[in-house]
């Protein structure tokens, strides 16, 4: 469409002016317009261009980039949906891996712990019962501080049998936990939360599980919330074991493993898998069930997937990653713990094929006959569910846990 001629009268009266599309060609075309006695300078054209689309701030910068730039690493960085969160995570993860200068062992160990702590820890606020909005729920919650060292010391021989070594650094380490007692005869859900949360973000989770008349035991990992210590993979794994043993102990909550359903979400899936493996090695009676929500096989595999997704292979090398956790290997060593996987179709952090590999690998190293029963190992894929669960997802999760509690878990489920 040809542009309307620009005249002095049109500028004075404020009539709409049509010019060519934005960019350098527009300027050239505007300068070539043959109007009778009017010359337009560059600032005037820019002003007209800005006022031609009132109410809009302009197009997104990344959308104006050529396709070949958007397909490169630069384009990937410009279009990162989770840029802030992932840059913080990768920054902490690479802090130690980018140090090439040899350091004394004590100093290098300290730096590695700080690097892991920065990578693992989530929100900084301190959980407080007075901030719970549901007053009836607040009245049910029993706040506890679990002496992690004492619990592990009481089970030293059994832990040694399971191959778990204690660390003197666990002295005076307290694990902050909230407990909601279960009605008589009902199981208790032990929740291993994800990286981006602590007890302050789990009020809705407590509400939906309470509606199903299930008990709840929630806790913060070392370095999270009000729990002491520094967050390292070893500390997180041991905290899951300590909380389970405390719940089982007669001096704790006196909840047998047969009445404990462990639910691990994201980061918590690796803690839950490690806990199930250790408890099997220690006790003839495994936990009632292990439910893994959006599970992670390892930090390294998630890192590689995200790196390849945004084409950052030229920048980051997974072989230099020192901070890692393994959620797949403990599952391969299981022999008699029912394992149920829940994975969101829209989870962008880990591909579905890797979750399927974890599912197929359960009990593979022990050649356990237990998992040949389809009811003891299930994989459910939920449509329209992302890595971070929403309100509807928690309702669905509570229903799935209820089915596990009564012994009727569904098999392959595409919700």
Distance CA 282, CA 309 (A): 41
Q: Judge contact between 188 and 217, C-beta under 8 A.
A: yes
Provide, for the chain, the percentages of residues in helix, strand and coil under a 3-state DSSP scheme, each rounded to the nearest 5: 45, 10, 40
Question: Do 187 and 325 fall into the same domain?
Answer: yes
Residue 191 falls inside a structural domain: yes
Residue 116 falls inside a structural domain: no
For residue 172, what pLDDT is reported?
Answer: 75
For residue 55, what pLDDT is reported?
Answer: 38
pLDDT band at 318 (very low <50, low <70, confident <90, very high): low
Question: Do 178 and 308 fall into the same domain?
Answer: yes
Distance CA 297, CA 289 (A): 19
Residue 72 falls inside a structural domain: no
Q: Judge contact between 229 and 211, C-beta under 8 A.
A: no
Residue 101 falls inside a structural domain: no
Residue 244 falls inside a structural domain: yes
Question: Do 313 and 236 fall into the same domain?
Answer: yes
pLDDT band at 328 (very low <50, low <70, confident <90, very high): very high
How many residues make up the chain in this entry?
Answer: 415
Q: Over the stretch 194-216, which tens digit does the pLDDT of each residue have?
A: 988 899 889 999 999 999 999 99
Q: Does residue 122 register a pLDDT over 80?
A: no
What's the domain range around 39?
Answer: 8-58
Q: Judge contact between 127 and 200, C-beta under 8 A.
A: yes
**What CATH number corresponds to the domain at position 151?**
3.40.50.1820
Please give the helix or strand (H or E) that residue 382 lies within, else none.
strand 377-382
Residue 114 falls inside a structural domain: no
* Count of the separate structural domains present in the chain: 2
Distance CA 352, CA 344 (A): 9
């Amino acid at each position: 469409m040809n542009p309307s001629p620009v005249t002095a009268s049109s500028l004075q009266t404020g009539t709409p002016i049509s010019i060519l599309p934005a960019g350098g060609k527009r300027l050239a075309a505007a300068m070539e317009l043959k109007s009778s006695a009017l010359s337009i300078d560059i600032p005037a054209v820019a002003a007209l261009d800005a006022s031609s689309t009132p109410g809009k701030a302009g197009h997104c910068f990344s959308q104006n980039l050529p396709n070949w730039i958007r397909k490169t690493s630069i384009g990937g960085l410009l279009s990162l949906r989770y840029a802030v969160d992932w840059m913080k995570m990768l920054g902490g993860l690479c802090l130690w891996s980018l140090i090439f200068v040899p350091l004394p062992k004590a100093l290098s160990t300290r730096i590695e712990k700080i690097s892991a702590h920065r990578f693992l820890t989530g929100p900084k606020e301190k959980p407080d019962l007075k901030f719970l909005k549901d007053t009836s729920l607040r009245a049910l919650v029993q706040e506890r501080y679990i002496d992690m060292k004492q619990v592990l010391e009481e089970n030293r021989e059994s832990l040694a049998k399971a191959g778990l070594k204690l660390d003197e650094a666990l002295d005076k380490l307290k694990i902050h936990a909230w407990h909601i007692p279960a009605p008589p005869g009902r199981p208790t859900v032990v929740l291993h939360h994800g990286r981006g949360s602590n007890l302050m973000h789990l009020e809705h989770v407590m509400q939906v599980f309470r509606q199903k008349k299930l008990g709840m035991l929630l806790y913060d990992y070392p370095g999270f919330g009000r729990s002491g210590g520094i967050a390292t993979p070893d500390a997180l794994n041991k905290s899951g074991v300590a909380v389970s043993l405390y719940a089982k102990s007669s001096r704790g909550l006196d909840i047998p493993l047969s009445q404990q359903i462990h639910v691990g979400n994201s980061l918590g899936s690796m803690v839950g898998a490690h806990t199930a493996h250790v408890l099997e090695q220690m006790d003839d009676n495994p936990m009632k069930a292990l439910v893994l929500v959006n599970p992670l096989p390892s930090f390294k595999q998630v890192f590689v997937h995200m790196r390849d997704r945004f084409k950052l292979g030229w920048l980051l090398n997974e072989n230099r990653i020192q901070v890692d956790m393994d959620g797949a290997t403990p599952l391969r060593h299981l022999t008699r713990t029912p394992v149920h996987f829940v994975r969101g179709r829209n989870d962008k952090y880990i591909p579905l094929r890797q979750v399927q590999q974890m599912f197929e690998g359960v009990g593979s190293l022990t050649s356990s006959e237990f998992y040949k029963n389809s009811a003891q190992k299930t994989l459910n894929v939920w449509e329209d569910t992302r890595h971070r669960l929403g309100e509807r997802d928690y309702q669905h999760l509570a229903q799935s846990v209820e089915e596990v509690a009564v012994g009727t878990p569904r098999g392959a489920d595409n919700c």
